[in-house]
């Protein structure tokens, strides 16, 4: 009898369980972040008695463990008490004041339609939800820079701080950013009432990266599945990229998959080098899950025809989609792609015909193309 196809391909001598290498996995231990974990926990401690937590501003380079550490502490907090509730918000996904207030309502058990409701009404809902609960929400605003570019953040923080001042309901606010200067960019009134404590996440050293990798690999790979130097080389590579643990962990995952597809008995340095080539730039990786089909279509056209003037780009776009958006909405999409650091817009003079914008990709073309291969055109709607 022929063997089942999945039985045949699922046997692995490489991965025990690759999920331990996924970006969303929260490890049981976070080596070298003990001090930060403790600092965050102390700031949140008042919430255990229904009191007012200290607000936090967490900052540092990419891959220094800011997100995973915040999630780790929230998990611990919720395991320990039902008096506080962690609400994690990625501002790539929720990038307006309205969307965030909405999400907070939802997290507190109030469903509000996501569109078509004025921000003031959503705010009123949030206040009434808070009145009825004794739980202290701890709101994590990750990638909070995404709000600054929309000039939204001061207003949003003002909303949240007002709750604390007038309603005697307490909320903890944890902001996470790559940008150390972010607080300085806030409205001064908001900044002074925020009174937040700052926590810096330093880049990992090569030795630390090695240790982190060893720990994660222990659960993900079978013993002896990694060639001797693989962890060292992955750690050194990540150290060169500003101590980014994400690069280290992702390169092991990709290398493991390449080895598996080749039916190799071990992950070798050759697999790892191939993996390095496939790692997506951080800007692309962060933005990708939140790109809509129109934005993806624009990137796909640019992959084939860059650079393009905006008029020509819109024309090509209209030819390729079933229901094109208006030129005005299209311009907004271009601005957003530029804010996400995926494209570059430069003003150029077209002589007597005035000015136009020239558009180029800001991330490597092959990385963007790979994104389309990975999603197999998901969300695409070409004619
Ligand atoms: N100390 C650690 N131990 C184990 N894994 C870690 C540690 N620090 C970071 N990681 C892992 O490294 C990856 C990157 O971490 P994380 O996403 O928290 O970085 P970040 O600082 O939020 O980066 P960015 O600013 O780009 O969002 C994740 O997969 C995370 O689980
Ligand atoms: Mg992060």
Please indicate, yes or no, whether residues 62 and 195 belong to a single structural domain of this protein.
Answer: yes
Which of 62, 63, 75 to mutate for ligand 1's pocket (most ligand atoms within 8 Å of CB)? 63
Residue-wise DSSP of 217-277: HHHHB-TT-B-TTHHHHHHHHHHHTTT-HHHHHHHHHHHHHHHHHTT-SSB-HHHHHHHHH
The rounded Å distance from CA 33 to ligand 1 centre is: 10
CATH classification of the domain holding 247: 1.10.8.60
Please indicate, yes or no, whether residues 155 and 48 belong to a single structural domain of this protein.
Answer: yes
Mean pLDDT of the chain: 90
pTM to 2 decimal places: 0.89
The answer to whether residue 359 is domain-embedded is yes
CA distance 299 to 360: 9
Query: Distances from the Cα of 176 to the Cαs of 54, 66, 146, 161, 352, in angstroms?
Result: 15, 7, 11, 17, 47
pLDDT of residue 165: 76
Going by C-beta distance under 8 Å and a sequence separation of 6 or more, which residues neighbour residue 314? 327, 330
Please indicate, yes or no, whether residues 275 and 299 belong to a single structural domain of this protein.
Answer: no
Residue where a domain stops, chosen among 259, 279, 299: 279
pLDDT of residue 163: 85
CA distance 103 to 233: 42
Give the mean model confidence (pLDDT) for residues 169-195.
Answer: 89
**Whole-angstrom Cα Rg for the chain:** 23
Measured CA angle at 31 (ends 247, 80), to 5 deg? 115
CA distance 27 to 72: 8
Contact 141, 91 (CB under 8 A): yes
The answer to whether residue 26 is domain-embedded is no
CA distance 352 to 143: 42
Q: What is the DSSP letter of 14?
A: S
The rounded Å distance from CA 67 to ligand 2 centre is: 4
The answer to whether residue 383 is domain-embedded is no
Structural domains counted in the chain: 3
pLDDT of residue 166: 74
Provide the pLDDT confidence category of residue 2 given band limits of 50, 70 and 90: confident
Query: Distances from the Cα of 121 to the Cαs of 128, 129, 165, 195, 362, in angstroms?
Result: 11, 12, 19, 27, 39
The answer to whether residue 299 is domain-embedded is yes
Please indicate, yes or no, whether residues 41 and 189 belong to a single structural domain of this protein.
Answer: yes
What is the per-residue pLDDT across 72-131, written as a single tens digit (0 to 9) for each?
999 999 999 999 999 999 999 998 889 999 999 999 998 887 777 888 899 999 998 998
Please indicate, yes or no, whether residues 173 and 259 belong to a single structural domain of this protein.
Answer: no
CATH classification of the domain holding 181: 3.40.50.300
The rounded Å distance from CA 76 to ligand 1 centre is: 17
- Calculate what percentage of the chain has a pLDDT beyond 90: 69
Work out which ligand 1 atom sits closest to the CA atom of 282. 26
309, containing H or E segment: strand 308-309
Backbone phi, then psi, for 10, in 5-degree steps?
Answer: -85, -20
Please indicate, yes or no, whether residues 304 and 217 belong to a single structural domain of this protein.
Answer: no
Domain range for residue 113? 34-201
CA distance 289 to 96: 17
Provide the pLDDT confidence category of residue 236 given band limits of 50, 70 and 90: very high
Flag the least confident range among 7-11, 246-250, 286-290, 357-361. Answer: 7-11
The SS3 assignment for 181 reads coil
Give the mean model confidence (pLDDT) for residues 205-217.
Answer: 96
The answer to whether residue 382 is domain-embedded is no
- Calculate what percentage of the chain has a pLDDT beyond 70: 95
Q: Residues lining ligand 1, judged by CB closer than 6 Å?
A: 23, 27, 30-33, 60, 62-68, 178, 201, 212, 216, 245-246, 249, 282
Provide the pLDDT confidence category of residue 47 given band limits of 50, 70 and 90: very high
Q: What is the DSSP letter of 180?
A: T
pLDDT of residue 230: 97
What is the per-residue pLDDT across 66-82, written as a single tens digit (0 to 9) for each?
999 999 999 999 999 99
Please indicate, yes or no, whether residues 45 and 162 belong to a single structural domain of this protein.
Answer: yes
| pLDDT above 90 (res 370) | no
Tokens 């908001």 -> residue = 190
CATH classification of the domain holding 324: 1.10.10.10
Strand-pair partners of 175:
57, 141
Residues whose beta carbons lie less than 5 angstroms from ion ligand 2: 67
Please indicate, yes or no, whether residues 43 and 191 belong to a single structural domain of this protein.
Answer: yes
Please indicate, yes or no, whether residues 349 and 325 belong to a single structural domain of this protein.
Answer: yes
* Residue 334 in tokens: 């271009």
Please indicate, yes or no, whether residues 173 and 88 belong to a single structural domain of this protein.
Answer: yes
Work out which ligand 1 atom sits closest to the CA atom of 216. 4
| pLDDT above 50 (res 381) | no
Residue where a domain stops, chosen among 184, 201, 218: 201
Please indicate, yes or no, whether residues 126 and 238 belong to a single structural domain of this protein.
Answer: no
Q: What length does the chain have?
A: 383
Residue where a domain stops, chosen among 159, 176, 201: 201
Please indicate, yes or no, whether residues 75 and 192 belong to a single structural domain of this protein.
Answer: yes
Tokens 């129109």 -> residue = 294
Strand 197-201 relative to strand 136-142, pairing:
unpaired
> 73 preceded by cis ω (within 30°)?
no
CA distance 139 to 86: 6
CA distance 158 to 90: 19
The answer to whether residue 275 is domain-embedded is yes
CA distance 283 to 291: 12
CA distance 21 to 341: 26
Say how many C-beta atoms besides its own lie within 10 A of residue 64's C-beta: 25
The answer to whether residue 28 is domain-embedded is no
The answer to whether residue 156 is domain-embedded is yes
CA-based nearest residue to 308, from 266, 346, 262? 346
């Amino acid at each position: 009898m022929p063997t089942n196809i999945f039985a045949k391909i699922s046997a692995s001598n490489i991965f025990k369980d690759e999920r331990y290498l996924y970006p969303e996995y929260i490890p049981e231990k976070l080596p070298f972040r003990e001090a930060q974990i403790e600092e965050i926990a102390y700031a949140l401690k008042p919430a255990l008695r229904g009191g007012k937590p200290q607000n936090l501003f967490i900052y540092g380079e990419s891959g220094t463990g800011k997100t995973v550490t915040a999630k780790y502490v929230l998990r611990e907090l919720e395991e320990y008490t039902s008096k506080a509730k962690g609400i994690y918000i990625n501002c790539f996904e929720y990038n307006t004041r309205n969307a965030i207030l909405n999400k907070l309502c939802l997290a507190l058990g109030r469903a509000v339609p996501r569109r078509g409701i004025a921000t003031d009404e959503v705010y009123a809902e949030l206040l009434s939800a808070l009145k009825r609960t004794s739980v202290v929400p701890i709101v994590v605003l990750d990638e909070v820079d995404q709000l600054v570019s929309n000039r939204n953040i001061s207003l949003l923080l003002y909303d949240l701080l007002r709750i604390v001042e007038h309603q005697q309901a307490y909320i903890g606010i944890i902001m996470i950013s790559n940008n150390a200067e972010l607080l300085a960019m806030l409205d001064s009134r908001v900044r002074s009432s925020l009174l937040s404590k700052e926590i810096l996440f330093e880049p990992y050293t090569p030795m630390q990266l090695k240790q982190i990798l060893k720990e994660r690999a222990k659960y993900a790979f079978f013993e002896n599945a990694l060639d001797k130097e693989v962890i060292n080389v992955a750690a050194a590579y990540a150290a060169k990229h500003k101590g980014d643990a994400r690069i280290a962990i992702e390169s092991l995952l990709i290398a493991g998959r390449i080895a598996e597809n080749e039916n190799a008995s071990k992950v070798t340095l050759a697999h790892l080098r191939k993996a390095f080539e496939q790692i997506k730039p951080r800007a692309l990786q962060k933005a990708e899950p939140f790109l809509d089909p129109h934005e993806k279509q624009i990137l796909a056209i640019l992959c084939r025809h860059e650079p393009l003037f905006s008029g020509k780009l819109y024309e090509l776009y209209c030819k390729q989609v079933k229901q094109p958006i208006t030129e005005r909405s299209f311009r907004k999409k271009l601005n957003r792609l530029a804010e996400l650091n995926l494209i570059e817009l430069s003003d150029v003079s077209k002589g007597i015909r005035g000015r136009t914008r020239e558009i180029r990709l800001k991330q490597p073309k092959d990385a963007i193309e790979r994104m389309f291969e990975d999603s197999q055109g998901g969300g695409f709607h070409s004619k």
